[in-house]
């Protein structure tokens, strides 16, 4: 990941590529690079840099290009830390092919070992290099060094979801592009054509685009675009369409806000996590745990979940799951309290640090405190190569992808999924979960992405509810068990982006204070899916109704009790309690989003908030 741009035509390729990369900056990245074919030198010029585009632009300025074809990339690290060596483009061993790549090559380790046995030497830590080396080896076998034929033969051997753009120095009049599950679009110009992962990068030059479909292999020249389907093994016609969006709209892929776009990406995020973490034998695999660390985990006697904000709510869910499935005591603390609380720690303790950015100041300080006291430290982080990821003893990446909206949605879902998998993994490791039980859990977990999609389709119903209550200034959120953290998260989302006052409580605490606030003005959001405490939640709801309160309920499909007593009701598909927070939070995200929009708030950039809190 994260952004691809390619150009072939009559212009100087370098400014086109650099402008395209600038248009892709919003997706987030940690390094960038370009590869161009210089016609005077009859060779590639490859320029890569860690950090922002300014660093790449400065480096590019050191070269004189006579190039009319090239590819570029902004990288969000998934395999290998952010560095110049790991940045794209990558070349094959002969340095005759350059490739940029978005997505994940799932069988990269197997392919890499096969290629190493054939004396192919790798220079980076990336899965991307495996792709170009595999295609490069096939390229050497083809008559006239045909890049299209090489790609056509090699790509079916690659498992995963990805997009490629390739360039050969033997045939610089052609670009090759391939799509599988990751977006790739061709821009159609006059005497020039473009390749990009995002329409945004094309709009300064053309509004005529061809959207590639899965398993499309495109041959792109100055004059035309031909598409071969690896599914049908035939040449196919893909008709161009006219894009009417502006650049801002294109970045959001037609959604009015990044937050809404990212909410709709949640099912795919979950699918990607499950693909990456669950083996064919239905076991759980964390590829980033160092050798010896699982052995240390077997000796752990207590777990701490340490985090801030939304990540803290994910930690609360993870804590419940760890206690249920490992029978280890698990404490959850806010990072700022943990670091100043002089925690009693030893080598028998595991401290799990949860952070989207991997740079949160208080969580970083908590990590250093835990390490100083000898505890094992495990980071659950989205941003590869971030400070916390580097300093922890071990790291598990959530792979949610870049999240632009300040209010976290898909990163939270990814944290939930990762922590639940961690709980199951520890349970199996410590022999508290039998293989048969783990298989049942995994079977249920694999249903969750599609169930998320079903909940997301209820958007119009969420909007209708928001229209009833958007002018209210106070909201109360109640939940029990695994959905008490969901109540906290729902309240936080509403506060963050609508600026309404909202408070999350454990429903069992209602009579210890919050019941005094119940009246006909304040909506009470009650999270009541199937669970061991369901009857208790129904009692809470009846108490609210007896005091003329407004109940917005979230329950399991077919719940007739809630249908009778709730003022507004949102149903989620039935699942076991441990997975329910992934589903119940989606209506709360929607409610917060719609209330904020109806109040005219800046949803993606709410006042006074930052995406990454890097100061105390």
Cα–Cα distance for residue pair 361/612, rounded to 1 Å? 9
Residue-wise pLDDT tens digits, 547-564: 999 999 999 999 999 999
Catalytic residue among 2, 36, 452, 465: 2
Question: Tell me: the pLDDT tens digits for 37-87?
Answer: 998 888 999 999 999 899 999 999 877 788 999 999 999 888 888 899 999
> Catalytic annotation on 526?
no
Structure tokens that stand for 494 in this block: 């509403």
Model confidence band, residue 613 (pLDDT cutoffs 50, 70, 90): low
d(CA 350, CA 205): 53
Q: Across the chain, what does the average pLDDT equal?
A: 94
For the record, the structure tokens of 3 come out as 């952004």
Q: Where are the alpha helices (DSSP H) in 512-551?
A: 534-546
464: Cβ contacts below 8 Å, ≥ 6 apart: none
319 vs 470: CA distance, rounded Å: 33
The 10s digit of each residue's pLDDT in 417-455 is 999 999 999 999 999 999 999 999 999 999 999 999 999
pLDDT of the residue at 200: 82
Q: Residue 438: name the closest of 578, 585, 572, 320 by CA.
A: 578
| 316 to 181, 215, 338, 421: CA distances (angstroms) | 33, 41, 15, 14
- Cα(40)–Cα(263) distance, rounded to whole angstroms? 48
Q: Show Cβ contacts of residue 249 under 8 Å, excluding neighbours closer than 6 positions.
A: none
User: How far is it, in rounded angstroms, from Cα 516 to Cα 523?
Assistant: 14
Maximum Cα–Cα distance for the chain, whole Å?
83
428 part of the active site: no
* Cβ-based neighbour number of residue 98 at 10 Å: 25
Nearest to 366 by CA among 354, 356, 348, 384: 354
H/E element holding 523?
A: strand 523-528
Domains (range + CATH), the chain: 2-251 (3.60.20.10), 260-446 (3.40.50.10490), 458-598 (3.40.50.10490)
Residue 398 to residue 419: CA distance in whole angstroms: 9
Distance CA 575, CA 377 (A): 32
Residue 616, pLDDT score: 57
Local confidence band at 572 (pLDDT 50, 70, 90 cut-offs): very high
> Encoding tokens for residue 577?
């309690």
Locate 40 and state its tokens. 């005077």
Q: How far apart are CA 240 and CA 219, in angstroms?
A: 15
pLDDT value of residue 422: 98
End-to-end CA distance of the chain: 31
pLDDT at 615 over 70: no
Rounded Cα–Cα distance for residues 43 and 386 (Å): 35
* Burial of residue 435 (number of CB atoms within 10 Å: 0-12, 13-18, 19+): exposed
Question: What is the per-residue pLDDT for 29?
Answer: 85
Percent of the chain with pLDDT over 90: 82
pLDDT one-digit tens code per residue, 362-383: 999 999 999 999 999 999 999 8
Q: How far is CA 212 from the centre of its chain?
A: 22
Q: Region 571-582: what's the mean pLDDT?
A: 97
């Amino acid at each position: 990941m994260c952004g691809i741009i390619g150009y072939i035509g009559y212009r100087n390729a370098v400014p086109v590529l650099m402008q395209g990369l600038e248009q892709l900056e919003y997706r987030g990245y940690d390094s960038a690079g370009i590869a161009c074919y210089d016609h005077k030198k009859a060779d590639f010029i490859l320029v890569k840099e860690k950090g922002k585009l300014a660093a790449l632009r400065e480096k590019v300025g050191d070269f004189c290009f006579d190039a009319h074809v090239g590819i570029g990339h902004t990288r969000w690290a998934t395999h290998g830390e952010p560095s110049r060596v790991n940045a794209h483009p990558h070349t094959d061993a002969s340095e005759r092919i350059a490739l940029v790549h978005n997505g994940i090559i799932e069988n990269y380790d197997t392919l890499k070992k096969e290629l190493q046995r054939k004396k192919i030497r790798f220079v980076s830590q990336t899965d991307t290099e495996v792709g170009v080396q595999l295609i490069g080896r096939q390229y050497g076998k083809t008559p006239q060094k045909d890049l299209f034929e090489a790609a056509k033969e090699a790509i079916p051997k690659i498992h995963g979801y990805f997009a490629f753009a390739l360039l050969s120095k033997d045939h610089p009049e052609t670009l090759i592009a391939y799509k599988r599950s990751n977006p790739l679009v061709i821009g159609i110009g006059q005497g020039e054509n473009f390749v990009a992962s995002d329409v945004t990068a094309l709009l300064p030059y053309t509004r005529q685009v061809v959207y590639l479909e899965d398993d499309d292999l495109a041959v792109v020249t100055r004059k035309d675009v031909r598409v071969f389907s690896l599914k049908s093994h035939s040449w196919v016609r893909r008709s161009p369409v006219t894009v009417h969006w502006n650049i801002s709209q294109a970045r959001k892929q037609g959604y009015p806000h990044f937050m809404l776009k990212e909410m709709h990406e949640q099912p795919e995020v979950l699918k990607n996590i499950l693909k990456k973490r669950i083996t064919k034998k239905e076991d759980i695999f964390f590829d980033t745990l160092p050798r010896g660390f699982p052995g240390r985990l077997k000796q752990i006697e207590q777990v701490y979940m340490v985090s801030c904000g939304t990540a803290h709510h994910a930690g609360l869910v993870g804590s419940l799951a760890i206690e249920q499935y490992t029978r280890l005591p698990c404490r959850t603390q806010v990072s700022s309290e943990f670091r100043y609380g002089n925690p009693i720690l030893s080598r028998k303790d595991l401290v799990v640090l949860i952070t989207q950015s991997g740079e949160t100041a208080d969580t970083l300080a908590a990590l250093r405190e835990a390490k100083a006291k000898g505890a094992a430290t495990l980071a659950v982080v989205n941003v590869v190569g971030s400070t916390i990821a580097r300093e922890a003893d071990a790291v598990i990446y959530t792979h949610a992808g870049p999240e632009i909206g300040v209010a976290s949605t898909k990163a939270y879902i990814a944290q939930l999924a990762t922590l639940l998998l961690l709980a199951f993994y520890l349970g199996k490791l410590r022999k508290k979960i039998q293989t048969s039980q783990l298989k049942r859990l995994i079977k249920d977990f694999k249903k969750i992405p599609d169930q998320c999609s079903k909940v997301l389709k209820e958007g119009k119903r969420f909007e209708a509810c928001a229209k009833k209550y958007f002018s209210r200034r106070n909201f109360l959120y109640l939940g029990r068990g695994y959905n008490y953290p969901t109540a906290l998260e729902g309240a936080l989302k509403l506060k963050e982006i609508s600026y309404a006052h909202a408070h999350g409580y454990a429903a069992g605490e209602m009579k210890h204070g919050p019941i005094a606030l119940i009246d006909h003005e304040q909506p009470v959001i009650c999270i009541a899916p199937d669970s061991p405490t369901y009857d208790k939640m129904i009692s809470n709801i009846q108490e609210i109704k007896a005091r003329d309160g407004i109940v917005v309920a979230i329950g399991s499909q077919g719940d007739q009790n809630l249908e009778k007593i709730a003022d507004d009701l949102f149903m989620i598909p039935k699942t076991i309690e441990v997975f329910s927070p992934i589903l119940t939070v989606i209506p709360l995200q929607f409610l917060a989003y719609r209330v904020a929009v109806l109040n005219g708030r800046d949803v993606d950039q709410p006042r006074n908030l930052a995406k990454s809190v890097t100061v105390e």
